[in-house]
Amino acid sequence: MVALVCLCAMAFGVDRASAQDPAPDRQAAILARVDGEPIYLGEVNRLLETVARGRKVSTAVRPVLQARALAEIVDRRLVLAYARRRKSGPTAAEVDAALAELETQLDAQGKSIEGFLKERSIGRTDLRRQITWNLTWEKYRAKYVTEKRLRSHFDGHRREFDGTQVSVSHILLRPEAGAGPDAMDALVKQAEALRREIALGRLSFAEAATEHSAGPSKKDGGRLGWIGRRGPMVESFSRAAFALEPGRVSRPVTTPFGVHLIRCDEIKPGNKEWSEVREDLERAVGRELLERLARLEQRHTPVEFTGKSPYFEPGTRKLVVP
């Protein structure tokens, strides 16, 4: 059975705090409903805080990150709806047993369930939903994340896991302090225009970086140097960089820092085998499973956005800002 003392951690590696459900009297604005079940502002904010990892998020960038966090939670609720529709989720008795086990563990530590709930700012209904998620997810994950699939994923995405490093340059377009949400649209358009100029040979990448980038690397034509797939850059930056071939420039990439154009300068192949990076592979294949089940369920389960927070228009990546 899933370790119940970690009930508020998502199974594919999101920090515990990001998966908590809000207490009824805290950040209780409803941002969306999946099959009638609400998603609250508190959930989105906690996930956003985890993704930001303590970095200050500008007013202009925040709507994009809020929409990503909301989309993440929507996918998770769609998986639960999929399990209910397929009658493959845990029974009420199984959830009761898991809750009883948690209470026993807490009692052994001299703690109470009430204290556990208060510490995490969640209610009993939220806790039962979290237990249901953990039991459901572990069941699907155990069936899907097989050694065969891990090997296959490694072979198809070797560069992301074998220790390969990529030398990159970038152009960072940063919103001005106090800029509103519309500023990000303007920066994306500016980045797209710069990318076209570079592609047409009217402007070199180094010239564009020196003239337009807000990052300190502008002094070196935007050159950042070598990065790995899982650090030191944020995930959206690394994912885009590792999808490039040498000499290619990415589409605009949004991070907590602003909007980037990324160029792959050189690739240094790694030599790790799949068994050495099993944990990373399990997370990646788990993510693949989550997205696959969510897409399947979208055809059967209604998703409604209330418009009280930024979100992506269903079926697109178009950002809608209230």
25 band by pLDDT with thresholds 50, 70 and 90: very low
193 belongs to a structural domain: yes
What CATH number corresponds to the domain at position 232?
3.10.50.40
pLDDT given at position 181: 66
Query: For the chain, what is the domain count?
Result: 2
In the chain, the largest separation of any two C-alpha atoms, in whole Å, equals 70
**101 lies in the same domain as 194:** no
Assess contact for 173 and 191: CB atoms under 8 A: yes
For residue 123, pLDDT over 90 is answered with: no
Which pLDDT value is given to residue 241?
96
Within a domain: 19: yes
My answer on whether 79 and 212 are in the same domain is: no
pLDDT at 21 > cutoff 70 = no
Q: What is the CATH number of the domain that holds 86?
A: 1.10.4030
End-to-end CA distance of the chain: 42
- Do residues 112 and 226 share a domain? no
Closest CA to 150 of 239, 270, 295, 279: 279
Describe the strand order of the beta sheet including 37-40 as a list of residue ranges.
Answer: 37-40, 30-34, 303-305
Residue 274 lies in a domain: no
Residue 10, number of CB atoms within 10 A of its CB: 22
Would 239 be classed as within a structural domain?
yes
Specify the pLDDT at position 261. 97
Residue 160 lies in a domain: no
Tokens of 98: 């898991």
Round to whole Å and give the CA distance between 183 and 294.
31
- 124 and 186 belong to one structural domain: no
Do 35 and 140 belong together in one domain? yes
Report whether pLDDT(154) > 90: yes
Q: Are residues 138 and 108 in the same domain?
A: yes
Q: Comparing 8-17, 63-72, 187-196, 286-295, which segment has the lowest mean pLDDT? A: 8-17
214 in the same domain as 109: no
Asked if residue 178 and residue 305 are part of one domain, the reply reads no
- Pair 28, 145 in one domain: yes
Lowest pLDDT segment from 115-124, 142-151, 303-312: 115-124
Rounded CA-CA distance 81/293 in Å is 10
Name the E strands within 184-315: 223-228, 253-255, 258-268, 303-305, 311-312
Query: How far apart (Å, rounded) are the C-alpha atoms in residues 112 and 107?
Result: 6
Look at residue 233 and tell me if it is in a domain: yes
Q: Tell me, yes or no, whether 297 lies in a domain.
A: yes
Q: Are residues 115 and 172 in the same domain?
A: no
pLDDT of residue 256: 82
The mean per-residue pLDDT over the stretch 52-69 comes to 77
Over residues 221-231, the mean pLDDT reads 93
The torsion of the CA quartet 18, 4, 137, 306, rounded to 10 degrees, works out to -40
Mean pLDDT of the chain: 86
Asked whether the predicted pLDDT for residue 16 surpasses 50, the reply is no
Domain that holds residue 92: 4-152+280-320
pLDDT in tens, 256-288: 889 999 999 999 999 999 999 999 999 999 999
- Residues 79 and 191 reside in one and the same domain: no
Distance, CA of 161 to chain centre: 18
CB-side neighbour CA atoms (13 Å) of 129: 19
Establish if 54 belongs to a structural domain. Answer: yes
| 303 and 257 in a common domain | no
pLDDT digits over 179-199, tens only?
Answer: 766 788 889 999 999 999 999
Max avg pLDDT among 52-56, 76-80, 227-231? 76-80
